[in-house]
Amino acid sequence: MFKFTGKILSLTAAALMVTTAVGSAQSMDELVKAAKEEGQLTTIALPHDWCGYGEVIAGFKAKYPEITVNELNPDAGSSDEVEAIKANKDNKGPQAPDVIDVGLSYGPQAKADGLIQPYKVSTWDSIPDSAKDADGYWYGDYYGVLSFMVNKDLVQNVPEDWADLLKDEYANSVSLAGDPRTSNQAIQGVYAAGLAAGATDAKSAGEKGLDFFKQLNSSGNFVPVTGKAATLAQGQTPIIVYWDYNALSGRDTLNGNPPVEVIVPKSGVVAGVYVQAISAYAPHPNAAKLWMEYLYSDEGQLGWLKGYCHPIRFNDLAKNGKIPQEMLDKLPPAAAYEAAVFPTLDDQATVKEIVTKQWDTVVGANVK
């Protein structure tokens, strides 16, 4: 596992140039000109209500009106995106995606399968090394951290950390946002609890996390119901372990009925990251590169943050005072994210195997 430390290298005049797939450099003006000549960008699996993508796409269109954005299957999943590249290797028509936005595990696999091409944006140095492919084939775009979504009508004292959830005052209150035998979000919740309990590697985190939920269940604090905004509002699951962007969006949707507080725990802060990549067969490679430049610019990164997904350059933006105060006011404190741990693919696989195979015997709660 590795930490997003926020240690950022300074950008230099090199940021005025962009690196192409073959390693040569071109100016931003040249890239814009080439992209406009192509005149189209084809995206896939970008629902407008996910991470503020509606406004992000609108921002790109406003900045480059000469480029038509062709949006394929907004509700597709990561595997669908990869399959779309495979299915359209020889097709330069409108069904061939130029770019993909996929879960972390799909980036390395797509690289291994020769489905994506390298490209380093001009803000490359401010993307943590731990969240990008060294050769530029894929790079983290945004992430969420596991948080506590709390119904303030029912919970007077908001829990500040994982250990707090074991207190008697949270009887019949705590839920996961999924079944830990099948849900990645729930599995990562167990992992996070294990880290908070002092685990130093994925194996011990999985084991300690299961022990934590065993205690939570035996004490009567765990609710074996998949938590979501509706169950929180109904009082069935007053506290939900939830990705922060889902919790914050749910807070807005409930609009004070009931009042909701979203807390990033003091320890065991686990992040889930998505990644961007350009298809190796992109019909509009320059438009694809320009799209990446926009997404990783301050403007594009803040677009995701407005949708409550933390952009991968969040610490850099915060450090340099680039985030509007009104935007920060809607989020948990920025300092809460500084210790976020990004599980590696191996970490995730290890924890998944432990949790899915041992949940029934160790915890014994049938989450529905």
The CATH number given to whatever domain includes residue 198 is: 3.40.190.10
Answer yes or no: do 65 and 157 share one domain: no
Q: To the nearest whole number, what is the mean pLDDT of the chain? A: 90
| 128 and 149 assigned to the same domain | no
Q: Is the pTM of this model over 0.85?
A: no
Whether 72 and 214 share a structural domain? no
Range scoring the smallest mean pLDDT among 2-6, 155-159, 256-260, 330-334? 2-6
Pair 59, 303: CB distance under 8 Å: yes
For residue 367, is it within any domain? no
Residue range 169-187: average pLDDT? 90
| Structural domain range at position 26 | 2-141+273-333
Listed residue (69, 74, 73) closest to 40, CA to CA: 69
Q: Are 252 and 306 in contact (CB under 8 A)?
A: no
| Residues 104 and 241 reside in one and the same domain | no
- Residue 335 confidence class, pLDDT cut points 50, 70, 90: confident
Q: Do 307 and 178 share a structural domain?
A: no
> For the chain, how many structural domains are there in total?
2
Do 346 and 214 share a structural domain? yes
346 located within any domain: yes
Q: Tens digits of per-residue pLDDT, 230-240?
A: 999 999 999 99
Residues 6+ apart with CB under 8 A from 252: none
In a domain, 368, yes or no: no
Tens digit of each residue's pLDDT (9 = 90 or more) over 36-73: 999 999 999 998 878 889 999 999 999 999 999 999 99
Same domain, 92 and 164: no
